[in-house]
Amino acid sequence: MTGQMQVNRALFDDVMVPNYAPANIIPVKGEGSRVWDQQGREYIDFAGGIAVSSLGHCHPALVAAVKQQAEKLWHLSNVMTNEPALRLAKKLVDSTFADKVYFANSGAEANEAAFKLARRWALDKFGAHKDHIISFGKSFHGRTFFTVTVGGQAAYSDGFGPKPGAVLHAEFNNLDSVKALISENTCAVVLEPIQGEGGIIPATPEFLQGVRELCNQHNALLVMDEVQTGVGRTGKLYAYMNYGVTPDILTTAKSLGGGFPIGAMLTTNEIASHLKVGTHGSTYGGNPLACAVAQAVLDTIDQPEVLAQVLSNEQLFRQQLAAINEKYQVFSEVRGKGMLLGAVLNEKYKGRSRDFFLAAAEHGVMALVAGPDVIRFAPSLVIKSEDIMVGMQRFEQAVQQVTSV
C-alpha cells in the first residue's frame, strides 16, 4: 500500500453500524485537557471521554506504563495469571472494603458479573426463590441485555424481545418505594451513588443508609455501581467513602483505566466464594496491558493532594457556572460532586441540553449531556485551573449563542 487512507466523517456513515451519531469533528491528538482535530483546531476537554480520561490525554505516567508493558507481555487469558493483574488487585483490595477482585473489560461486564454473582450467592444460600433484583428509575448499568434491563431506562432495553425477569424498579432517593418492593425474594439492590446518565443525581445520605439497612434486614446484597463515580472522581477513591455506607459488591471501570479499557468487580471473601471455577469468565479480563495502565492510574490518583485537587477544581467549576448563570439565567442548579457535575437547565431551556452541547463544540469546548435537561462535565481529575478558566470562557460564548436565539 502506498500512502495512508484519507479519513473523514463521511467514512463513518459508509463503514460503521449506525447506532452512533458522532460529531463532525475527528480528534487526532490530545495532551492534558486539550484536544486537536484533523484541522488543527483546539478544544478544551470537559467531557473526559464520558468520565474515562481521569488523567487527561497522554499522561506521562500512563504512556510510560503502556510502553513498558507493551515490550513485556500483552495477553495470556485466564488459564494463567500475570503480575500486573495481581499487583492491581492487591492495590484495589488494600484501598477499599474488598477482599477479592474480578477483572473485566468494561463497566457493563463488571455489572454483569456483579448481578450474576448476586443471583448465584442467593441461590446457594437461600434457594431459587431469592432472585429479585431491585434497581431504580433513570439508572444506567451498561448495554448488555441483563445490565440494560436492570438499568431504569426502558428506551435502552425495549425492542429486543423478552427481557430477563425478576427485575424491579424503585424510585431513586425514595426509601418508601424500596420498602414497597423489597422482600425475602430480593437478592440484591443495585444503585449508583450518583446517577450519571440519569441526570447527575446524588443519593442522599439518609437514602443510602436506609437502603443499606433494608438490605441487612432482608438478607439482600447492596451492589454499588461506581463505574462513573469511582477512582477519585468525587474526591474520594470511591464515592461510597463519602457516605460511610459500605456495599457488598462494587463495580468500577471508566476512570480506572484512564482511557485503556478495563473494568473490575470488588467484593468480600464470603460472597466471592460463590463464583467457583467455571461459573464466570472473560478472555481479556485481567489483561496485562490494561492492568499495568490501571495500576499507574491508581498510583497517580490515590494521593491526598490529587484527591484534594479534585474538590478545589469542583469549586472553580461551580464558581464559573454560577457567574455564567448570573448573566444568562439558564440553570436551576448544579448537581454532583468533584469532577462529575451536572448543570440542570431551568424551565425556559428545558429539553435543550443538546443545543448547549453542540454550541460548546462550535466554541472549542467538549462537554456532555445527561438526558435532555442536564449539561454534564466529567473532565480530567487533574485539569489545570487555567484550562478550566479558558474552557469556561468558551462555554459562556456557547451559552450566549444559545440564549440569544
Residue 205: inside a domain: yes
Residue 32 three-state SS: strand
pLDDT digits (tens, 9 = 90+) for 174-195: 999 999 999 999 999 999 999 9
Residues 241 and 156 in one domain: yes
Residues 182 and 223 in one domain: yes
27 half-sphere exposure, CB direction, 13 A CA radius: 20
Residue 132: inside a domain: yes
Q: What is the CATH number of the domain that holds 198?
A: 3.40.640.10
pLDDT digits (tens, 9 = 90+) for 12-66: 999 999 988 888 899 999 999 999 999 999 999 999 999 999 999 999 999 999 9
Residues 151 and 252 in one domain: yes
Pick out the residues of the known binding site for pyridoxal 5'-phosphate.
Answer: 107-108, 140, 225-228, 283
Q: What is the pairing mode between strands 368-369 and 34-37?
A: unpaired
Question: Which candidate, 232, 170, 155, 166, places its Cα nearest to that of 203?
Answer: 170
Quote the crossing angle between the two packed helices 288-301 and 60-70, to the nearest 10°: 150
Residues 132 and 257 in one domain: yes
Residues 106 and 159 in one domain: yes
Q: Hey, which bits of 125-270 come out as E strands?
A: 132-136, 167-170, 186-191, 194-195, 201-202, 221-225, 249-252, 263-267
Give, for 100, the enclosing helix (H) or strand (E). Answer: strand 100-104
- Where among 283, 301, 319 does a domain terminate? 301
What is the C-alpha separation between 15 and 367, in angstroms, rounded?
26
What is the C-alpha separation between 220 and 213, in angstroms, rounded?
10
Residue 64: inside a domain: no
Residue 66: inside a domain: no
Q: In a structure prediction context, what are the per-residue pLDDT tens digits for the chain, which is 405 residues long?
A: 456 888 999 999 999 999 888 888 999 999 999 999 999 999 999 999 999 999 999 999 999 999 999 999 999 998 999 999 999 999 999 999 999 999 999 999 999 999 999 999 999 999 999 999 999 999 999 999 999 999 998 999 999 999 999 999 999 999 999 999 999 999 999 999 999 999 999 999 999 999 999 999 999 999 999 999 999 999 999 999 999 999 999 999 999 999 999 999 999 999 999 999 999 999 999 999 999 999 999 999 999 999 999 999 999 999 999 999 999 999 999 999 999 999 999 999 999 999 999 999 999 999 999 999 999 999 999 999 999 999 999 999 999 999 997
Q: Count of CB atoms within 10 A of residue 384's CB? A: 15
Domain carrying residue 335: 9-58+304-403
Exposure of 171 by Cβ count < 10 A (0-12 exposed, 13-18 middle, 19+ buried)? middle
Residues 242 and 322 in one domain: no
Residues 244 and 328 in one domain: no
Residue 305's contacts (CB-CB under 8 Å, 6 or more residues apart) are none
Contact 295, 82 (CB under 8 A): no
Residues 392 and 283 in one domain: no
Query: How high is the pLDDT of residue 23?
Result: 87
- Where among 269, 301, 333 does a domain terminate? 301
Residue 67: inside a domain: no
Q: What is the CATH number of the domain that holds 362?
A: 3.90.1150.10
Q: For residue 7, what is its C-alpha cell? A: 479519513
- One-letter amino acid of 206: E
Residues 90 and 234 in one domain: yes
Residue 132 three-state SS: strand
Residues 92 and 233 in one domain: yes
Residues 52 and 78 in one domain: no
Q: For residue 216, what is its C-alpha cell? A: 441487612
Query: How high is the pLDDT of residue 1?
Result: 43
Residue 4: inside a domain: no
Residue 2: inside a domain: no
- Where among 301, 325, 357 does a domain terminate? 301
Domain count along the chain: 2
Query: How high is the pLDDT of residue 363?
Result: 97
Q: What is the pairing mode between strands 42-45 and 365-366?
A: parallel
307-343 b/e with 16+ CB inside 10 Å = b?
bebbeebbeebeebbeebbeeeebbbebbbbbbbbbb
Q: For residue 207, what is its C-alpha cell? A: 437514602
DSSP character string of 330-375:
-EEEEEEETTEEEEEE-GGGTT-HHHHHHHHHHTTEE-EESSTTEE
- Residue numbers annotated as active site: 140, 225, 254
Contact 269, 100 (CB under 8 A): yes
- 30 bridge partner residues: 35
Pick out the residues of the known binding site.
Answer: 107-108, 140, 143, 225-228, 282-283
Exposure of 301 by Cβ count < 10 A (0-12 exposed, 13-18 middle, 19+ buried)? buried
Query: How high is the pLDDT of residue 3?
Result: 65
Q: For residue 65, what is its C-alpha cell? A: 506504563
Residues 215 and 262 in one domain: yes
Pick out the residues of the known binding site for N(2)-acetyl-L-ornithine.
Answer: 143, 282
Query: How high is the pLDDT of residue 9?
Result: 92
Q: For residue 264, what is its C-alpha cell? A: 473490575
What is the C-alpha separation between 404 and 364, in angstroms, rounded?
19
Overall residue count recorded for the chain in this entry: 405
Residue 3: inside a domain: no
